[in-house]
């Protein structure tokens, strides 16, 4: 592995650790025997964030209700695992993390659009 690539992956691992990711091997995805720099849920959240950003740049909008639902699915999955109702799987963590990350960033964009609309409306008055 090149030194630049290794440094990049190490920086992602440090960033993930500082953002609160536990990075437990049993809750992480592996590719070719190498552990992802963040856990399965955080990987899904990151992919969800990036997807929401891209779709919002192309003016694809999801309603606030749907966004809250997507975010709550991740919270529900986390809760049933935390309270030991049922152990989650890495695939489910990845999927619900994606849903939560996507929903959260859509909520951010909804409020950003409303704020910009209010600010531009007031500047015309």
Q: Where are the beta strands (DSSP E) in 5-119?
A: 30-31, 34-35
Q: Which helix (DSSP H) or strand (DSSP E) does residue 83 occupy?
A: none
Taking only the tens place, the pLDDT of each residue in 4-42 is 777 777 777 787 777 778 888 788 888 888 888 889 999
Check residues 93 and 12 and name the one with the higher pLDDT: 93
CA 33 to chain centre: 24
Q: What is the pTM of this model?
A: 0.82
Owner of token pair 């619900």: 96
* 5: Cα separation from own chain's centroid: 23
pLDDT for residue 99? 97
The full set of domain ranges for the chain reads 3-124
Report the pLDDT value the prediction gives residue 123, as an integer from 0 to 100.
Answer: 63
User: Are the C-beta atoms of 99 and 52 separated by less than 8 Å?
Assistant: no
First-to-last alpha carbon distance for the chain, in angstroms, is 59
Confidence of residue 95 (pLDDT cuts 50, 70, 90): very high
pLDDT tens per residue, range 41-79: 999 999 999 999 999 999 888 999 999 999 999 999 999
């Amino acid at each position: 592995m090149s030194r630049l690539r290794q440094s990049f992956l190490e920086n992602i691992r440090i960033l993930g650790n500082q953002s609160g990711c536990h990075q437990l091997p049993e809750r992480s995805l592996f590719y070719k025997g190498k552990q992802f720099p963040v856990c399965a849920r955080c990987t899904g959240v990151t992919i969800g964030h990036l997807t929401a950003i891209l779709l919002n740049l192309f003016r694809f909008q999801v309603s606030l209700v749907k966004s809250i639902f997507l975010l709550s699915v991740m919270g529900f999955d986390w809760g049933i695992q935390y309270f030991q109702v049922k152990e989650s799987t890495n695939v489910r963590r990845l999927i619900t993390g994606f849903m939560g990350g996507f929903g959260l960033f859509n909520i951010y964009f909804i409020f950003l659009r409303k704020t910009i609309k209010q600010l531009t409306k007031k500047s015309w008055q």
